[in-house]
Structure 1
């Protein structure tokens, strides 16, 4: 019994990710706006924000009002309602690829179903993914991610050696995935030459936000759109991080490249458990009841979450939230650049939709996971993160992963004053640490 209690305290039961490696797990007593209160009573500024899901803050009145409304109409039911229809109509009106929407509970489910749709439509097996892009902890997509023990070696074919990102995943499942370096046009063309008759689809983050922030090279998304069309494969955008963060239509609207299928979560429900698979009708119609592919779940489409998602779209559509977060992002990026330059620490900074990648160790824009792995000073980043966490009242700011940075996450609840404060604290912390430029 004692062992079980100790284990619970060490790892908790919510998510392993909440046990921040450098500082351990933190139990939260309260959360308000963009701040959390820890068990000791201390309030800390939050730069994780529910791993990007609390886009409007921890206690947004938009969400709470939708919950109050839902409480009066059987809020736990998940049968079809007018609210479900309204969500589908509102969603499909703003997302370019969305002719139809099917709900799911999590990003993992959404990406799993999206690749299953691609396989069902094409009758093929293989899915191309990109190194460092994270699509949930499903067995066939958790390959060559930031939690993989090492980056895969580049083969002469241009693809990467398959490296699982979690234990318990049989090597055989890796044979269904073709991992490629991000932004590598030659490798993408070569993969289609080698496997053309068996490629069901290509899945990607249109902006790689799980490894900092790495945008696509000019023309790269267009190339993938061309290749998938020419070879009869589906193009799948994982917009779980990019969706509803920079604009109401997602990265596909911003970059002008329309995928066949897209997955949504995080800011879709702004903290409520809801996700979605959207796409062109000809592909979505493979899903039952129109087609044979089952997409369902006991907890899918609960009225409480659907009500919140409708309110989120209504609130975001006029663009005011996006303009506000863009101003905060600009303020933060400028402050960070000035501070790192003042301390003579090379750092490349970019952001998308209030998620800011701080690539310490290089002044050049990284193009791939390999670029980050070769330059990111993980040991220095860990020391800095620990100092900011333990002595400066920050939660999740500049958090390091194994060999890349987790983006700093802003929300509509952050303020210019909070940005100024975090920059002052970072400046102070860097003055207490030695940076030697080591790759570590």
Structure 2
């Protein structure tokens, strides 16, 4: 069996996938975090079945659209209004468009390693960039595109700095005075392997953006609805001006949203001049699923279950790595757990991770876990850091214990070596 590289999946159930070979694997990717309720959640399946009785209702608004907006805005702190889109990429792209329209400014500040979708203005200094950017004066980073096909001119409108580097943000505001439209960030840097902000960092960003007349934009595509019904902004008690949501918003169905303060959201047409639309935007099937998901998550039972599994897995992983005397920093948020092999200290930036993460060892371990231990996506390495292990409501305590046992067995077969 091989679950490394291109694979064909013929079936899914709960937190497991079945390969075309017929073998079943425990899934620790879960739709890159979108399948919070599992691959075949009865909640989502029932909502879709009921919706189909009324047709596809493409491009029509319904009572469910209104209810979804009302319930979303009731639980997300920044959300006075909600506009639906199809993907996280669209949500972050439109969020920056709103920031530029509201402020009349051009520059967007982002953080190295934070991924906001493959749109032209934000795909800079990410994991697919050819190398880590050089640190320039004041902490600004050399602009490096994450893909070919984006003209360098787009980079002139995006300023990248290191995560948790407040001085670099302050310097950028001074250097590009009166031209910074907004700051966009993952409130928890899950694309860096789950690196949380320094104490007070988000609060300082809130104060800086307010002082300079720029918008604070939270990319909650990965964090939204994972740990609680209100997003990371609720956990950290910092309210952004605009936030982008996706992934667990639809629990497997394609939907995303831009939410924010009414004064900023009202620049969107038809009230304002900012164009945001699409043929598949706000499709009834996806709206029905998202509404059912919010209703199901309201009582907190799912989040408590996932939090308990996260705690169990973090503890089990620490025990296994300690047993094999492998340095490892482990942290999690909303059932997504970053395992930073190679250090016992909490990393703060992408460059720190690049300096210690033993990519060769991590790749060998991942290959073994995938091909011989039936763990799909468990401890997956990216180019410079770990992809978080993703849990769902469909995982069980028995699955977590079993995964730790399989990891222990695999580590007996691969000698650890650092970078």
Q: Same fold (TM over 0.5)?
A: yes
Partner of 1:29: 10
> Per-residue CA shift, 1:16-62, capped at 9, x if unaligned?
xxxx9x92111000001000000000000000000110010000001
Displacement of 1:193: 1.0
* Bigger shift: residues 285-294 or 75-84: 75-84
SS of alignment partner, residue 359 of structure 1: strand
Q: Hey, what's the Cα distance between the residues in 2 that align with 1:248 and 1:212?
A: 22
Which one of the candidate residues 199, 209, 213 is aligned to 1:228?
209
Report whether the alignment pairs 1:291 with 2:281: no
The residue correspondences of 1:2-401 to structure 2 (distance < 5 A) are 23-401=4-382
The separation in 2 between residues aligned to 1:216 and 1:406, in whole angstroms, is: 18
User: What whole-Å deviation, never above 9, does each CA across 1:97-139 have from its counterpart, x for those lacking one?
Assistant: 0000000000000000000000000111100000010000001
Offset from partner CA, 1:330-363 (integer Å, 9 cap, x none): 0000000000011011000000000000000000
1:370 is displaced (CA, Å) by 0.7
Is the partner of 1:196 in helix, strand or coil? coil
User: What is the match of residue 427 of structure 1?
Assistant: 408
What is the DSSP-based 3-state SS (H/G/I as helix, E as strand, rest coil) of the residue aligned with 1:51?
Answer: helix
The offset of 1:231, in angstroms, is: 0.5
Alignment of 1:408-427 (within 5 A): 408-427=389-408
Distance (whole Å) between structure 2 residues aligned to residue 196 and residue 374 of structure 1: 33
SS at match of 1:65: helix
Provide the C-alpha distance between the structure 1 equivalents of 2:199 and 2:173, rounded to a whole number of angstroms.
20
Runs of 4+ in 1 over 3 A off after TM superposition: none
Give the CA deviation at 1:168: 1.0
CA contact (8 A) 2:306 2:391 kept: yes
For residues 287 and 156 of structure 1, what CA distance do their matches in structure 2 show?
A: 37
Q: Contact between 2:205 and 2:216, CA under 8 Å: does it hold in 1? A: yes
Residue by residue, what CA displacement relative to the aligned partner does 1:391-413 show, whole Å, maximum 9, x if unpaired?
00111000000011000000000
Choose 154-163 or 354-363, whichever is displaced more: 154-163
Cα deviation, 1:285-322, whole Å, max 9, x if unaligned, reads 00001001111000001100000000000000110100
What TM-score results when the alignment is normalised by the length of structure 1? 0.94
CA deviation digits over 1:174-233, x for unaligned, max 9?
111000000001111111111121000000000000121100001110111001000100
Q: CA deviation at 1:76?
A: 4.2
Task: Give 1:158 shift.
Answer: 1.2
Q: Aligned pair count?
A: 418
Residue pair 2:358, 2:417 contacting (<8 A) in 1 also:
no
Task: Give the match's secondary structure for 2:196.
Answer: coil
Identify unmatched segments of 5+ residues in structure 1: 1-19
Structure 2: how far apart are the matches of 1:248 and 1:78?
Answer: 27
Please give the alpha-carbon distance, in whole angstroms, between the structure 2 residues aligned to 1:157 and 1:348.
29
Superposed CA RMSD in Å reads: 0.9
CA–CA separation in structure 1 for the residues paired with 2:407 and 2:168 = 39
TM-score, normalised with respect to structure 2: 0.99
CA contact (8 A) 2:328 2:340 kept: yes
What is aligned with 1:6? Answer: none
